[in-house]
């Protein structure tokens, strides 16, 4: 059980949140995901109306 | 092993043995005479010392333990009865024959080590220091502040022990350095003193074996109200120093061990936790034995409940507007050289000055460990670091007492004392040390944010370096003069990574013209398409401000998260009518770094601590609105 005076304990919530954001950053960079990018990247499936032979 | 000595009792001729040559006082086990061994090894009766029938606390003759790795046994002790309290000084006889004094009082323990101070202390001068932080430098080259003065009126002994005085009429001066090194200076007479270094310890530091089991009844005593003769049962005698008569309301304080001094008082009003209530608070059972209502000069009033436990002694509950603090006196307390100090740092934790006041007593009931009715000149400082508080009470006669407290929820107290027996007042506002969910020190949060930014930046740089930056297609494409440009299809290229981005960079020799391309990335197997449209344009000219330019002849666009596979490009170029753009250059690169992600995600992450800080600040502004020492600027008040 971590001591409640331990700084990591006090910051556990922040560390958790920061870890999630860090994970998001790493995932986005790794997969080439341009976050919050709308409209410049239209993709559609060949099953839909824009099928290209 | 150092041998002891054998003697004969001068009263009953019983055989008496001293287990340690360091000891000089023994209670004859046969006739109970207190026998003092002189420097000439002769025994003399000490009629000024009584036989202790009970020493209170958990230590008794025969209690064993371990201190600093060495086994010891308690051979005896002396109970000094001071004006405000009592102090048990036990003799610890170690296996190697050495002895030490263990000063003990109801859950507090200090090992005393005798030291020589030459020259000794000028006690008259020492007394003149007062308790406001003036210091005296002793022969050990350390500066000490005077913390407390206690006057011993009587002493009782048990077993075999060491006494440093031939007289029990001694005075204890407690001194301390800023580093909390403590010195007990016992004045025997005039400027003759005996000096001890006092090291406060926890109970667990001694691993006591064969302890005594304290009983509630040990402290029961019936006394008569000196005003109306009402029979009153005290619950913490002989530690009780004042009480209120439950019948006539008379306020009685002990003088010289007797309930003699009495002033008129009125009976208290409704008490939310009635006297006699028992309950477990933080693993110990307490009985409510006293109640007081106090008011400071600003008109704020609060209530204090005195609690008692036979092993741990007194604790207190303080209530203001339904916010509760659980307190107990701490001997190993901070040391202040000035009572106006704005901050305390204890074991690395900062406590801020929250309040400073004196008070008037409004109403009382039950009994108290001090003469509560003498409220003249009691100066109180409160230092907080929620959920903890340190309270310094200084009174002119005896000095400084420190209390350490912690916020406690009313619900916990209702559960402790029984929700069917107590009805606690409704809670208002934020308590002085009420913890805030998720609270962290702002400077700690700021440091954490800086560290996090560094980690994010490091992660981004590493990811950038790991990016393949693989050019999958590049071409310089000649454009016809006509604006009717046929589509261009690129050779097939392969993206091998599970998912990656594609950066498409366009360069065209635009000059006061534009060029654009509609580009579709097509998966050769699934037919899935990704379409972007990009325009490059560049304009220049002159106006009243001189030369201007706008745009660029190159630009790039990123297509995000394209799955692995084989792709080709279909490019539909277009250019401004009558422009002389005769080519454009296209580069397609897969798996390129994106700083944009870093800035967006980091900014979003920063919103969390920013909101967190704002929330904490809002709470702290409300908390500190009750303090004259608030450093917060209330923005909402400023707006009004």
Return the pLDDT at A53.
32
Of B175, B171, B200, B198, the residue nearest B186 (C-alpha): B171
Return the pLDDT at B350.
86
Q: Does B448 touch chain A (CB under 8 A)?
A: yes
Residues of chain B with pLDDT under 50: 638-640
Return the pLDDT at B259.
64
Q: Does B134 touch chain A (CB under 8 A)?
A: no
* B467: chain A residues, CB-CB within 8 Å: 29
DSSP 8-state code for residue B269? -
Please tell me the distance from the alpha carbon of residue B484 to that of residue B20, in angstroms, as a whole number: 116
Return the pLDDT at A7.
81
Closest CB to A7 among B444, B499, B596 = B444
Q: Answer positive or negative: Cα dihedral of B65, B68, B74, B79.
A: negative
Give the closest-approach CA distance of B320 to chain A in angstroms.
27
Cβ atoms B528, A46 nearer than 8 A = yes
Return the pLDDT at A10.
82
Q: Does B47 touch chain A (CB under 8 A)?
A: no
Given 3-state DSSP classes, what are the helix, strand and coil percentages for chain A, each rounded to the nearest 5? Answer: 45, 5, 50
Cis peptide before A14 (omega within 30 of 0): no
* A17: chain B residues, CB-CB within 8 Å: 605, 608
Return the pLDDT at B301.
93
Give the closest-approach CA distance of A1 to chain B in angstroms.
18
Return the pLDDT at B242.
92
Exposure string for B258-293, b = 16+ CB within 10 A, e = fewer: ebebbeebeebeebbbebebbbebeeebbbbbbbbb
Return the pLDDT at B634.
63
The better pLDDT of the pair A39, B418 is held by B418
Mean pLDDT of all residues belonging to chain A? 75
Cβ atoms A43, A52 nearer than 8 A = no
Q: Does B500 touch chain A (CB under 8 A)?
A: yes
Asked whether the beta carbons of residue A24 and residue B594 sit closer than 8 angstroms, the reply is no
Q: Does B595 touch chain A (CB under 8 A)?
A: no
Q: What is the DSSP string of B220-234?
A: -EEEE-TTT--EEEE
CA angle A31, A34, A37 (to 5 degrees): 145
Give the closest-approach CA distance of B389 to chain A in angstroms.
15
Question: And the tokens for B221?
Answer: 């005593």
* A16: chain B residues, CB-CB within 8 Å: none
Question: And the tokens for B457?
Answer: 């930046």
Asked whether the beta carbons of residue A32 and residue B501 sit closer than 8 angstroms, the reply is yes
Asked whether the beta carbons of residue B500 and residue A32 sit closer than 8 angstroms, the reply is yes
Asked whether the beta carbons of residue B601 and residue A13 sit closer than 8 angstroms, the reply is no
Q: Does B470 touch chain A (CB under 8 A)?
A: no
Asked whether the beta carbons of residue B601 and residue A21 sit closer than 8 angstroms, the reply is yes
Q: How confident is the model at residue A45 (pLDDT cuts 50, 70, 90)?
A: very low
H or E segment to which residue B620 belongs: helix B595-624
Asked whether the beta carbons of residue A34 and residue B501 sit closer than 8 angstroms, the reply is yes
Please tell me the distance from the alpha carbon of residue B552 to that of residue B536, in angstroms, as a whole number: 6
CA angle B30, B31, B35 (to 5 degrees): 100
Return the pLDDT at B264.
67
From the CA atom positions of chain B, what is the Rg in Å?
A: 40
Exposure string for B494-527, b = 16+ CB within 10 A, e = fewer: ebebebbbbbbbbbbbbeebbbbbebbbbbeeeb
* A42: chain B residues, CB-CB within 8 Å: 530-532
If you measure CA to CA, which chain B residue comes closest to A45? B528
Chain A positions with Cβ closer than 8 Å to B: 5, 7, 10-11, 13-15, 17-18, 21-22, 24-26, 28-37, 40-46, 50-53
Mutation target among B527, B595, B608 for the A interface, most CBs of A within 10 A? B527
Of B332, B354, B351, B333, the residue nearest B343 (C-alpha): B351
Return the pLDDT at A48.
37
Exposure string for B475-489, b = 16+ CB within 10 A, e = fewer: beeebeeeeebeebe
């Amino acid at each position: 059980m971590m001591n409640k005076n331990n700084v990591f304990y006090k910051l556990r919530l922040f560390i958790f949140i920061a870890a999630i954001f860090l994970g998001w950053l790493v995932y986005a960079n790794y997969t080439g995901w341009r976050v919050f990018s709308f409209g410049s990247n239209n993709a559609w499936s060949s099953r839909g109306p824009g099928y290209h032979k | 092993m150092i041998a002891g000595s054998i003697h004969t009792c001068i009263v009953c001729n019983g055989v008496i043995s001293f287990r340690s040559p360091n000891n000089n006082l023994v209670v004859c086990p046969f006739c109970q005479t207190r026998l003092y061994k002189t420097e000439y090894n002769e025994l003399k009766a000490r009629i000024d010392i009584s036989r202790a029938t009970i020493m209170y606390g958990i230590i008794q003759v025969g209690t064993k333990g371990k201190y600093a790795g060495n086994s010891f046994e308690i051979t005896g002790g002396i109970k000094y009865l001071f004006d405000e309290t009592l102090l048990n000084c036990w003799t610890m006889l170690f296996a190697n024959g050495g002895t030490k004094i263990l000063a003990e009082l109801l859950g507090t323990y200090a090992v005393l080590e005798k030291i020589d101070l030459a020259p000794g202390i000028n006690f008259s001068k020492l007394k003149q220091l007062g308790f406001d932080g003036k210091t005296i430098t002793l022969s050990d080259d350390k500066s000490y502040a005077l913390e407390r003065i206690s006057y011993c009126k009587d002493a009782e002994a048990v077993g075999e022990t060491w006494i440093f005085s031939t007289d029990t009429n001694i005075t204890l001066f407690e001194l301390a350095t800023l580093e909390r090194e403590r010195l007990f200076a016992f004045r025997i007479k005039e400027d003759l003193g005996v000096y001890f270094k006092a090291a406060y310890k926890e109970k667990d530091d001694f691993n006591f074996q064969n302890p005594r089991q304290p009983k509630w009844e040990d402290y029961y005593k019936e006394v008569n109200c000196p005003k109306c003769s009402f029979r009153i049962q005290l619950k913490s005698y002989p530690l009780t120093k004042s009480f209120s008569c439950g019948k006539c309301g008379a306020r009685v304080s002990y003088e010289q061990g007797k309930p003699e001094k009495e002033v008129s008082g009125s009976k208290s009003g409704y008490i939310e936790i009635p006297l006699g209530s028992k309950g477990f608070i933080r693993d110990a059972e307490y009985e409510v034995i006293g109640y007081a209502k106090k008011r400071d000069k600003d008109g704020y009033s609060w209530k204090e409940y005195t609690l008692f436990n036979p092993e741990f002694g007194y604790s207190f509950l303080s209530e203001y507007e339904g916010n509760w603090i659980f307190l107990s006196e701490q001997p190993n307390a901070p040391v202040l050289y000035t009572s106006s100090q704005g901050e305390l740092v204890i074991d690395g934790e900062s406590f801020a000055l929250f309040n400073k006041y004196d008070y008037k007593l409004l109403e009382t009931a039950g009994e108290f460990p001090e003469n509560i009715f003498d409220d003249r000149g009691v100066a109180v400082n409160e230092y907080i670091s929620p959920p903890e508080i340190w309270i310094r009470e200084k009174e002119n006669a005896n000095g400084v007492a420190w209390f350490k407290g912690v916020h406690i929820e009313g619900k916990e107290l209702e559960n402790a004392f029984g929700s069917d027996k107590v009805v606690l007042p409704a809670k208002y506002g934020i308590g002085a040390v009420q913890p805030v969910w998720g609270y962290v020190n702002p400077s700690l949060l700021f440091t954490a944010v800086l560290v996090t930014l560094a980690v994010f930046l490091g992660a981004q740089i590493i990811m950038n370096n790991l990016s393949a930056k693989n050019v999958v297609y590049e071409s310089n494409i000649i454009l016809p003069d006509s604006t009717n440009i046929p589509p261009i299809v690129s050779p097939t290229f392969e993206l091998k990574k599970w998912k990656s981005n594609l950066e498409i960079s366009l360069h065209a020799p635009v000059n006061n013209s534009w060029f654009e391309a509609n580009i579709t990335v097509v998966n050769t197997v699934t037919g899935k398409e990704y379409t972007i449209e990009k325009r490059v344009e560049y304009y220049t000219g002159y106006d009243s401000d001189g030369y201007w330019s706008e745009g660029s002849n190159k630009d790039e666009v990123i297509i995000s998260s394209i799955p692995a596979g084989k792709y080709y490009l279909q490019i539909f170029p277009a250019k401004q009518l009558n422009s002389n753009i005769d080519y454009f250059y296209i580069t397609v690169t897969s798996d390129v770094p994106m700083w944009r992600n870093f800035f967006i995600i980091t900014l979003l992450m920063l919103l969390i601590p920013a909101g967190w800080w704002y929330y904490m600040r809002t709470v702290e502004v409300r908390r500190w609105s009750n303090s004259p020492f608030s450093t917060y600027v209330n923005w909402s008040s400023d707006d009004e």
